[in-house]
C-alpha cells in the first residue's frame, strides 16, 4: 500500500447494505501516516444553472480586495467574498463557430459544451451516431490515474430537475446532462435525494447491478430503519478506539447523518419516490411524480437544501472528490412560486411583492425583470449556502474543505439574448492554495473574450496537476492558454 493511499483512507462502519465512511479521525490514522505531512484531498464541484443571468450579475469595479464589490445577484456570497473570483467576458461560442456568439438552438446545443467545450452536432456527424458529445472536464479529472481508485466513487452527478425540459429538437442528453464520461456516454444526474443518500452510505460496499435497487436498502426503507441501525455494533467498537476529541467528532457526524437521512426521506417521499425504485420522470407533461411547481408535498427549496447536505456529506466522507450539480435542466420551465420576488436595481435588491413564475418565461421577459433576477439570485443563494457549509468543515487546522476545493458556479449562456459570450462565471475556493481569490477579472470583450476551455485547462493542470496537453475545441485555431490571472 502506498503512502498516498494511506493518507486518504477513511474508517468504514459496516452493516447490512451499508458501508458508511467516517470523516478523517486522527485516532484511526496509521502511525506512518501521522508522521507524514498532511495531504489534503482536492475537490471539483461544477454547479450549473440554466438560462443565463439577468443584467445584475456583473460586479462593480475590477481587481482584488476593496477594488471590487459584489453585484446584486451575487450578494448571497458576501460572507465568502474573500474566497470568490468572478470572471467577466468568458465565452464558449468558439467551440461551435469562430465568428459569432449566436449558437442556435441555444438551449439544445450550448449545455453540452458547458463542461466539454465541443460542438455536439459536429461530434455526432463525425461519429455518425444519434447521440454524442465530448468528454467533460469533471470526467477527465475523475478518470485520470492520479485520482482513479482514490475514492469509492470516481464521481457523482446530482440535480434538482423534477420533470424533463424541452430539448429544442436536439438530443435530450445535451440539455439534461453536463457530465460525459466518453463521447457517447452521458452521465445522467440523480434527482431523488434518497437515491443519492443510499449511494453515499453504500459506496464502499458491494454494489447492486446498474438499474436495480440494493435489497438491503429497500428492506431498510420499508421497515423505516436508519442506516445507523445497521452499523450500531461496528460504531460502538470503533468509538472505543478513539480519543476524546475524535469521539466527539464521530458523535457529531453520526447525528448529522441521521438528521440528513430524515430530511432526505421526507423530500424523496414528497416527490413520489422513497428510492424503492428510481423515479421515472415522464416526457414533457405534468404528473404527480413530476412536480413542475410547489405542491403540498414538494418544495424545490427543501430539495436544494437536502441536496446541498448530501454533497457536503459525500465530500466529508471522501466518497468522491468530483461532483457535478445541475440546479435545473436547461430551458427549465419550473414555476418558482416558492421564491418570493425581489425588486432589483443597479445597487442591490430588496423584498418585493408576490412570488416568481416560470423560469424560462422569465428569461424571455427581459434582462432586467425582477422574476429573472430573483430566480438567478435564488440559485446564487443555494450555491452560497453550499459553499458556506464546505467552509465550516475543517480538513485540518485552519484549512476548510472549501479551501481545498474548486467550485464553479456558472451557466452556458449569457441571458435573455441566449448568446454564448459574456457568460456568468464565478469560482470559489482555493484548490489547496493554487487559486487566487477575492477578485473580479474582466477580460477584454474584443477581439473575442476568453474561452471557457482555457479555464478548464487551467483547473486541470494547475489545481490538480494532471499535465493534460489540451482541452476542448477552438474553431479559431487558438491553442489552449493558462489563465494566469487566477493562478497563485
pLDDT value at position 4?
Answer: 37
Beta strands 450-451 and 84-91: pairing type? Answer: parallel
The C-alpha cell at 100 is 459569432
Residue 342's alpha-carbon distances to 82, 194, 295, 303, 424, in angstroms, are: 26, 32, 22, 21, 20
CATH number of the structural domain spanning residue 87:
3.40.720
Residue 370 CB neighbour total at 10 angstroms: 22
394 in any annotated domain: yes
Cα(137)–Cα(180) distance, rounded to whole angstroms? 9
List of residues 6+ apart from 113 with CB closer than 8 A: 92, 95, 96, 119, 120, 134, 412, 420, 452
pLDDT value at position 85?
Answer: 98
The C-alpha cell at 433 is 492554495
Quote the Cα angle for 15-199-23, to 5°: 70
The whole domain housing 427 covers 41-191+303-486
10 in any annotated domain: no
224 in any annotated domain: no
| Strand partners for 158 | 190, 325
338 in any annotated domain: yes
pTM of the model: 0.91
270 in any annotated domain: no
Cα(95)–Cα(197) distance, rounded to whole angstroms? 36
118 in any annotated domain: yes
Name the percent of the chain lying above pLDDT 90: 64
Domains held by the chain: number: 1
User: Residues in the chain with pLDDT < 70?
Assistant: 1-10, 29-38, 204-218, 221-224, 272-290, 447
Beta strands 63-64 and 439-442: pairing type? Answer: antiparallel
Query: pLDDT tens for residues 27-73?
Result: 776 554 544 556 789 999 999 999 999 999 999 999 999 999 999 99
* Cβ pair 173, 133 in contact under 8 A: yes
The C-alpha cell at 72 is 446584486
60 in any annotated domain: yes
Nearest to 336 by CA among 284, 278, 378: 378
81 in any annotated domain: yes
Amino acid at each position: 500500500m502506498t503512502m498516498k493511499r494511506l493518507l486518504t483512507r477513511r474508517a468504514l462502519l459496516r452493516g447490512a447494505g451499508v458501508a458508511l465512511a467516517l470523516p478523517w479521525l486522527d485516532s484511526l490514522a496509521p502511525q506512518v501516516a501521522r508522521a507524514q505531512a498532511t495531504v489534503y484531498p482536492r475537490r471539483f464541484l461544477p454547479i450549473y444553472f440554466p438560462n443565463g443571468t439577468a443584467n445584475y450579475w456583473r460586479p462593480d469595479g475590477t481587481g482584488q480586495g476593496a477594488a471590487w464589490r459584489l453585484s446584486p445577484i451575487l450578494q448571497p456570497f458576501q460572507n465568502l467574498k474573500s474566497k470568490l473570483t468572478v470572471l467577466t467576458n468568458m465565452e464558449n461560442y468558439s467551440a461551435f463557430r469562430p465568428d459569432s456568439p449566436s449558437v442556435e438552438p441555444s438551449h439544445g446545443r450550448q449545455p453540452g459544451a458547458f463542461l466539454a467545450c465541443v460542438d455536439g452536432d459536429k461530434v455526432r456527424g463525425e461519429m455518425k451516431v444519434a447521440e454524442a458529445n465530448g468528454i467533460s472536464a469533471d470526467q477527465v479529472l475523475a478518470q485520470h490515474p492520479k485520482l482513479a481508485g482514490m475514492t469509492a466513487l470516481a464521481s457523482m452527478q446530482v440535480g434538482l430537475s423534477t420533470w424533463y425540459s424541452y430539448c429544442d429538437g436536439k438530443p435530450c442528453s445535451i440539455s439534461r446532462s453536463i457530465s460525459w464520461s466518453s463521447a457517447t456516454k452521458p452521465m445522467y444526474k440523480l434527482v431523488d435525494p434518497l437515491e443519492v443518500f443510499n449511494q453515499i452510505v453504500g459506496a464502499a460496499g458491494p454494489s447492486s447491478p446498474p438499474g436495480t435497487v440494493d435489497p438491503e436498502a429497500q428492506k431498510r426503507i420499508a421497515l423505516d430503519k436508519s442506516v445507523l441501525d445497521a452499523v450500531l455494533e461496528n460504531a460502538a467498537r470503533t468509538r472505543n478506539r478513539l480519543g476524546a476529541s475524535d469521539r466527539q467528532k464521530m458523535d457529531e457526524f453520526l447525528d448529522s447523518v441521521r438528521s440528513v437521512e430524515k430530511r432526505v426521506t421526507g423530500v424523496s417521499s414528497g416527490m413520489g419516490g422513497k428510492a424503492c425504485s428510481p423515479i421515472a420522470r415522464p416526457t414533457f407533461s405534468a404528473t404527480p411524480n413530476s412536480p413542475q411547481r410547489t405542491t403540498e408535498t414538494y418544495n424545490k427549496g427543501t430539495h436544494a437544501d437536502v441536496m446541498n447536505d448530501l454533497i457536503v456529506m459525500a465530500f466529508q466522507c471522501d466518497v468522491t472528490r468530483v461532483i457535478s450539480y445541475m440546479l435545473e435542466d436547461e430551458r427549465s420551465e419550473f414555476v418558482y412560486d416558492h421564491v418570493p420576488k425581489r425588486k432589483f436595481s443597479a445597487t442591490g435588491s430588496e423584498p418585493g411583492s408576490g412570488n416568481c413564475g416560470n423560469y424560462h418565461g422569465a428569461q424571455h421577459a427581459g434582462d432586467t425583470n425582477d422574476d429573472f433576477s430573483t430566480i438567478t439570485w435564488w440559485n446564487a443563494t443555494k450555491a452560497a449556502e453550499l459553499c458556506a457549509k464546505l467552509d465550516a468543515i475543517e480538513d485540518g487546522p485552519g484549512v476548510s474543505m472549501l479551501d481545498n476545493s474548486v467550485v464553479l458556479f456558472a451557466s452556458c449562456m449569457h441571458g435573455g439574448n441566449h448568446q454564448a459570450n459574456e457568460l456568468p462565471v464565478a469560482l470559489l475556493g482555493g484548490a489547496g492554495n493554487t487559486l487566487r481569490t477575492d477578485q473580479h477579472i474582466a477580460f477584454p470583450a474584443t477581439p473575442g473574450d476568453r474561452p471557457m476551455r482555457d479555464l478548464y485547462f487551467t483547473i486541470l493542470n494547475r489545481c490538480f496537476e494532471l499535465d493534460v496537453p489540451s482541452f476542448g475545441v477552438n474553431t479559431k485555431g487558438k491553442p489552449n492558454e493558462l489563465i494566469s490571472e487566477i493562478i497563485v
